[in-house]
A = this chain, B = another copy of it.
């Protein structure tokens, strides 16, 4: 192995370790900040994400919610049932297509929108980083995500 390829490999190891772990642990840290903000409302962060999707566009199917959040029905079905158990949403088979299940906010679920108004501001302030820098990260993460998805699909096809 040449010195140059050694250096390149070392750089890769460091970047992989750094960035993957950055994502892993920053994601984790975000969850820790959300937890006490959401606890008074009795919902978890993934449940809050589902509600956020519904606040933007109500009466979606399970599949449509999953598309937006990159989650499978095996994750969403029990999660949504818990939301239903708390009286925040209602599940109903679609009349037109009985395979689909439509998830609709209840009055309580819709009203909770008002109880979370402070959260986005809390988070953005908690980031402690000026807006333009956040935008830069947003942009790069978008590119990375697109590239990773392509990679995952390539591997799934077998041409690793």
Contacts and interface: CB of A to CB of B under 8 A. Distances in A.
A41 interface: no
A140 B149 contact: no
A19 B147 contact: no
Interface residues of A, number: 61
A45 B20 CA distance: 11
B33 A124 contact: no
Contacts of A16: 119-121, 123-124
A15 interface: yes
Interface string A109-148: 0000000010111011011110101101110111111111
Given A15-B127, A33-B152, A136-B136, 13 more contacts: A13-B120, A16-B121, A17-B52, A19-B137, A19-B138, A20-B123, A22-B142, A22-B145, A24-B30, A26-B141, A32-B148, A128-B146, A128-B151
